[in-house]
Amino acid sequence: MSTQFESIATRGAAVAAGESEARRAAPTLRFSRGVLIAGLAALAWLGGAALTEWWPSLDDWPYTKQLIALKLVLAVFAIGTAIAGYRNEPARANAPVTRTGAWLGAMPWLLALALGVSAWEAVTAQLEWLPRPFFAPPQALIGVYADDYARLGTSVLHSFGLLAYGYVLGAAVGFITGVSIGWSQAVSYWVHPVLRLIGPLPATAWLPLAFFFFPSSFSASVFLIALATAFPVTVLTWSGVAGVNSAFYDIARTLGARPSFLILRVAIPAALPSVFVGLFMGLGASFSVLIVAEMMGVKAGLGWYLQWAQGWAAYANMYAALLVMALMCSGLITLLFRVRDRLLAWQKGLLKW
């Protein structure tokens, strides 16, 4: 009987050792696949550069040489990443994720981007299957960034300033209002019905009144952005404060805490996860209102730039502005996530972006 148990134990140990070896080998296999995909991405960008060079366009698009140079730079980057990954591959089994490993993880996207740009260029510049001027090739976007960078940069700065004013003001008002509603029954009695009546209305519905009552289009736009931001921040902050465990307050009162301490050191820290959810929602809403407000009355900004480009049928400028807007919005949300992860270290990674 003991011999049978020893045999079973030996087989179990062998299976466990095999699984452990497989787990240790898995990162190396993934790393090898990343090196392969990096090589394919390099070939795709080189092929795209060859397509641009030797397949003539039906029209003489400027900045074609610059597009070829950009493709070659990305191909060199992919080759360098593949070489670095191949050299580090033996030490990859038990090592933590390095910067090279992170770049290798992005190689599938670089490969997809190479194929997408080549297809985009083929159906617009070489074949012209998509009607002009509604669709422009990649060279046209490079031309916008090279020739119209001053106007586009001014629009980005104006939009960022307008967004910062309105978002910070709305977030501050929403945070104070939410804490007040969640803490005080008297404030909740008077403010809650008003919030339920006015809050769900879209901020753009207040456009006519805002541009009538405020002295300038800038101040009216700030008000609309603040209004769009304040509602989700208020609701989520109120929910966070109201949902704090009452035992926290009881323990703090037992230790002699005053109401100000309960608000600043107990209620607000416990409600911060909900507050950041409201800030994320408010940032998305503020971007929508920002573009609409700039299209209606502001004389600068990305919304104004989009309307100007559409009016002149400069669709390449419009696509370039949309790309800048997407990067701007994504960058601000990423920055807000970094702040959240630093303040709420115990919840790092719980909310994904």
User: Model confidence over 255-270: pLDDT tens digits?
Assistant: 888 988 999 989 999 9
Q: What's the confidence (pLDDT) of residue 297? A: 66
> Within a 13 Å sphere around the CA of 228, how many CA atoms are in the beta-carbon half?
29
Q: How far apart are CA 146 and CA 278, in angstroms?
A: 38
Q: How far apart are CA 139 and CA 66, in angstroms?
A: 8
Least-confidence region, from 192-201, 293-302, 334-343: 293-302
Nearest to 273 by CA among 337, 201, 207: 337
Alpha carbon distance, N-terminus to C-terminus of the chain: 56
Instruction: For 88-116, write each residue's pLDDT tens digit.
Output: 765 444 555 567 777 888 999 999 999 99
State the chain's mean pLDDT as an integer.
85
Contact partners, residue 182, CB within 8 Å, separation at least 6: 188, 237, 238, 239, 240, 241, 242, 267, 271
- Given a contact cutoff of 8 angstroms between Cβ atoms, the answer to whether 105 and 34 are in contact is yes
- Three-class SS state of 214: coil
Average pLDDT score over residue span 206-214: 86
Q: What's the confidence (pLDDT) of residue 5? A: 38
Average pLDDT score over residue span 172-196: 93
Average pLDDT score over residue span 197-214: 87
> Within a 13 Å sphere around the CA of 201, how many CA atoms are in the beta-carbon half?
12
Q: How far apart are CA 350 and CA 90, in angstroms?
A: 33
Nearest to 344 by CA among 250, 242, 271: 271
Q: What's the confidence (pLDDT) of residue 96? A: 53
Position 170 confidence tier, pLDDT thresholds 50, 70, 90:
very high
Position 343 confidence tier, pLDDT thresholds 50, 70, 90:
confident
- Given a contact cutoff of 8 angstroms between Cβ atoms, the answer to whether 75 and 49 are in contact is yes
- Given a contact cutoff of 8 angstroms between Cβ atoms, the answer to whether 230 and 261 are in contact is no
Structural domains present in the chain: 2-135 (no CATH), 149-347 (1.10.3720.10)
Q: How far apart are CA 158 and CA 291, in angstroms?
A: 12
Q: What's the confidence (pLDDT) of residue 295? A: 82
Residue 135's φ and ψ, nearest 5 degrees, are -125, 130
Dihedral of the CA atoms 188, 189, 191, 196 (nearest 10)? 100
Q: What proportion of the chain, given as a percentage, has pLDDT over 70?
A: 87
- Given a contact cutoff of 8 angstroms between Cβ atoms, the answer to whether 217 and 211 are in contact is yes
Instruction: For 10-42, write each residue's pLDDT tens digit.
Output: 444 444 444 444 444 444 444 578 889 999 999
Distances (CA, A) of 5 to 1, 2, 9, 16: 6, 5, 6, 16
Token pair for 185: 């029954």
Q: How far apart are CA 175 and CA 152, in angstroms?
A: 33
Does the pLDDT value for residue 311 go beyond 70? Answer: yes
Position 6 confidence tier, pLDDT thresholds 50, 70, 90:
very low
Sign, CA torsion 145/150/151/156: positive
- Given a contact cutoff of 8 angstroms between Cβ atoms, the answer to whether 307 and 321 are in contact is no
Instruction: For 237-257, write each residue's pLDDT tens digit.
Output: 999 999 988 888 888 888 888
Position 78 confidence tier, pLDDT thresholds 50, 70, 90:
very high
Token pair for 140: 């046209």
Q: Go through the chain and tell me how many residues it has.
A: 353
Position 175 confidence tier, pLDDT thresholds 50, 70, 90:
very high
